[in-house]
Chains A and B, each alone.
Chain A
């Protein structure tokens, strides 16, 4: 009797084992579910597929944003009218801002590479709430759809700039309600991603992976997720107030009814300054992954990097006032905000020094991801130091609302986050597709982009100090040489982008097969096959040591 039962159990276990092995055989790129073709992607709750879908959507929006940016550059090549009317130009910079900020940069790294890598890097099979993850992707798509729709409806594209400053945003006749609703929905999507990541990091880490054994990209994502969660609702309610103002004329920000427009600016920047750290923290995380791998050296100051992410997230909440030095504030608040702005620069500098120290005596391998990371450090440092010019009270008055701000911002966001995103694509590409891109083309593209980028934005620093205002359609003739250089830079940058996109798209289909660990990385994503199997790990690993131990 007993023997018979044992036999039955053995048979059962054997069957189970076969089924499990069958399940693991396919990669996540092959379809195993109920649906075929594109539906197998659109209904997938797999974090890797959702990450890729975000990547494709964001790349598409990025191209739209680049085209609009390029049109603005062409318009600015000479004073007066070049190709469009002033009202269209106002629409251009608003749309460029909304697309690039809310649809590209904010979800750009955490939703794409965060989704793809976070569960793998902490040794999990998926995020904590896979269905919520898919839902937040659809919210993202819906919000983006509304944002684009607002450009084409009857009253014309919103012309407020991406900041929706009151009272103009509550009185202009353009489609502000739809654009703010879009931003609200995109914000909600961002909140849900953040929530998902926090719970994932708390609940899903592999056994043995303590917080201080976690790789540093997950650390950065974790700090980012807290900002997403705690700052975004504030802009949510602020945008709802703008909508209420327009629909019901309540008077929150209308001086005629007793409201205070400056209060809007406070509420807006309480979110939107931390949002800048939502953009840059994951970028710093990516760079922190790449540098040790391509130097084959343990990261210098692991704890300092991990905790500086948290410090940036915390102090970043308290510096919003530095956007409003000229709006009218008490002297005390002015110096306090300025002081805190200088404080928040410290943890960023800690990271830069740690990256440099990691390279010291490393065996450096100048592959495209590392090259992008170096460009990141260069551009981010320029952006960061010019940020201090803006954060200091006296110099701020001179450069406030000039193209100096535009240049600073693009050095941080495009030169920083953008180049980090390119670095991330080139770093994890072989893992995502199991194929390798053309290294030479990628290197050439990165150098072209680096040159184009500096040509485009550096002149804006100079004419900004000389007094060229931002968001202006027209300008004095003495600014023209710099504007021409900028426009040429814009075209060079675009040429680099085209080469990069061509290389990546072609290689995703036809590139040569990549090994599981082409860069000799140590984090968990390099220990599994490329592309990863559906459930990432056949057996959840046990973590015994700190990350980045190169043997």
Chain B
């Protein structure tokens, strides 16, 4: 009894609780994007032809490449977790770096994609956009808002993964205590999942 009490004082640890907390946080993230999806749904219904016209402006290749990159990254982080559980620390760290690399490629792609739009004078408040119809303006507004918020999440995810990698290197996250990596991976899957919805909504549905 005393041992337990003392152990409790020194370290309070409940991996199930940590995971439950992460899942609840993911609910909130989904609802955060949910607001934007709702706005998208309303305006798509109101201006469906103009949404169709505007969506043709997006480059499906860019979007598809980014989708593949993110799917690979999600697989890599899942493998990193399994590797750590099997005590293959080095492999796990390599796979996390692969995930981070994929995230970086995604952002570079996004940079060029957005850059292209800016070059064509397509951005909120631009002269060209003002001359277009309402549906076009809202479509591009939503495009920038949704992909922008998503890119922010990608960046946050990258930072979290870097922290996890440092902790694994320092031996604080290991085969006996991997919940931090597990939660980081869960967050990364969320980032991936949201993109899986954004890609068809913005690029594919015409």
Footprint of B on A, CB under 8 Å? 13, 16-17, 19-20, 23, 125-126, 128-130, 132, 191, 195-196, 198-199, 202-204, 229-230, 232-234, 236-238, 240-241, 244, 248-252, 257-260, 263, 267, 535, 539
In the complex, what residues of A have CB within 8 A of residue B47's CB?
A: 258
In the complex, what residues of A have CB within 8 A of residue B125's CB?
A: 248-250
Assembled-state Cα–Cα distance A19/B9 (Å): 11
Assembled-state Cα–Cα distance A108/B27 (Å): 24
In the complex, what residues of B have CB within 8 A of residue A23's CB?
A: 9
In the complex, what residues of B have CB within 8 A of residue A128's CB?
A: 14, 17, 21
Indicate if the CB atoms of B20 and A202 lie closer than 8 Å: yes
Indicate if the CB atoms of B135 and A258 lie closer than 8 Å: yes
Assembled-state Cα–Cα distance A20/B10 (Å): 11
Chain B residue at minimal CB-CB distance from A129 = B21
**Binary CB contact string for chain B from 25 to 49 against chain A (1 if under 8 A, 0 otherwise):** 1011101111110110011001100
A to B CB contacts below 8 Å, 15 in the list: A16-B6, A20-B9, A132-B21, A199-B17, A229-B27, A232-B28, A237-B32, A237-B35, A240-B149, A241-B145, A244-B124, A250-B138, A251-B134, A258-B43, A258-B135
Closest Cβ–Cβ distance, residue B177 to chain A (whole Å): 16
Given A237-B36, A248-B124, A258-B47, A13-B2 contact (CB < 8 Å): yes
Given A17-B2, A249-B124, A241-B39 contact (CB < 8 Å): yes
Indicate if the CB atoms of A250 and B141 lie closer than 8 Å: yes
Chain A residue at minimal CB-CB distance from B140 = A250
Q: Which of A125, A234, A240 contacts B31 (CB 8 A)?
A: A234
Indicate if the CB atoms of B138 and A252 lie closer than 8 Å: yes
Indicate if the CB atoms of B5 and A195 lie closer than 8 Å: no
Assembled-state Cα–Cα distance A535/B10 (Å): 12
Assembled-state Cα–Cα distance A459/B13 (Å): 56
Assembled-state Cα–Cα distance A6/B35 (Å): 64
| Apart from A20-B2, A252-B145, 13 more pairs, CB < 8 Å | A16-B6, A20-B9, A195-B24, A198-B20, A199-B21, A202-B20, A203-B17, A230-B27, A237-B33, A249-B124, A258-B137, A535-B9, A539-B1
Given A195-B21, A263-B42, A257-B27 contact (CB < 8 Å): no
In the complex, what residues of B have CB within 8 A of residue A249's CB?
A: 124-125
Asked if B199 is at the interface of the complex by the 8 Å CB criterion, the answer is no
Given A128-B21, A250-B145, A229-B28 contact (CB < 8 Å): yes
Assembled-state Cα–Cα distance A125/B7 (Å): 13
In the complex, what residues of B have CB within 8 A of residue A17's CB?
A: 2
In the complex, what residues of A have CB within 8 A of residue B8's CB?
A: 125
Closest Cβ–Cβ distance, residue B146 to chain A (whole Å): 10
Indicate if the CB atoms of B21 and A259 lie closer than 8 Å: no
In the complex, what residues of B have CB within 8 A of residue A258's CB?
A: 43, 46-47, 133-135, 137-138
Chain A residue at minimal CB-CB distance from B35 = A237
Closest Cβ–Cβ distance, residue A77 to chain B (whole Å): 42
Pick the 8 closest A-B CB pairs, nearest first: A258-B134, A237-B35, A250-B141, A233-B31, A248-B124, A233-B32, A249-B125, A203-B17
Q: Which of B5, B28, B36, B138 contacts A257 (CB 8 A)?
A: B138
Task: Indicate the member of B20, B31, B38, B47 with the most A CB atoms within 10 Å.
Answer: B31
Asked if B12 is at the interface of the complex by the 8 Å CB criterion, the answer is yes
Task: Indicate the member of B27, B133, B144 with the most A CB atoms within 10 Å.
Answer: B27
Chain A residue at minimal CB-CB distance from B30 = A233
Closest Cβ–Cβ distance, residue B172 to chain A (whole Å): 15
Asked if B3 is at the interface of the complex by the 8 Å CB criterion, the answer is yes
In the complex, what residues of A have CB within 8 A of residue B43's CB?
A: 258
Indicate if the CB atoms of B138 and A229 lie closer than 8 Å: no
Indicate if the CB atoms of A20 and B5 lie closer than 8 Å: yes
Task: Indicate the member of B27, B28, B31, B135 with the most A CB atoms within 10 Å.
Answer: B28
In the complex, what residues of A have CB within 8 A of residue B119's CB?
A: none
In the complex, what residues of A have CB within 8 A of residue B42's CB?
A: 260, 263
Asked if B127 is at the interface of the complex by the 8 Å CB criterion, the answer is no
Asked if B11 is at the interface of the complex by the 8 Å CB criterion, the answer is no
In the complex, what residues of A have CB within 8 A of residue B24's CB?
A: 195, 198-199, 229
Given A17-B2, A130-B12, A195-B35 contact (CB < 8 Å): no
Q: Which of B16, B33, B138 contacts A203 (CB 8 A)?
A: B16
Indicate if the CB atoms of B3 and A16 lie closer than 8 Å: yes
Indicate if the CB atoms of B145 and A244 lie closer than 8 Å: yes
**Binary CB contact string for chain B from 129 to 164 against chain A (1 if under 8 A, 0 otherwise):** 000011101100100110001000000000000000
Assembled-state Cα–Cα distance A244/B14 (Å): 40
Indicate if the CB atoms of A16 and B16 lie closer than 8 Å: no
Residues of B51-74 whose CB lies within 8 A of A: none
Chain A residue at minimal CB-CB distance from B138 = A258
Assembled-state Cα–Cα distance A539/B24 (Å): 30
Assembled-state Cα–Cα distance A13/B145 (Å): 61
Indicate if the CB atoms of B28 and A19 lie closer than 8 Å: no
Indicate if the CB atoms of A234 and B35 lie closer than 8 Å: yes
Assembled-state Cα–Cα distance A10/B91 (Å): 45
Chain A residue at minimal CB-CB distance from B31 = A233
Chain B residue at minimal CB-CB distance from A257 = B137
Assembled-state Cα–Cα distance A199/B15 (Å): 11
In the complex, what residues of A have CB within 8 A of residue B145's CB?
A: 241, 244, 250, 252
Assembled-state Cα–Cα distance A35/B197 (Å): 49
Closest Cβ–Cβ distance, residue B194 to chain A (whole Å): 13
Closest Cβ–Cβ distance, residue B43 to chain A (whole Å): 8
**Binary CB contact string for chain B from 113 to 132 against chain A (1 if under 8 A, 0 otherwise):** 00000000000110000000
In the complex, what residues of A have CB within 8 A of residue B137's CB?
A: 251, 257-258
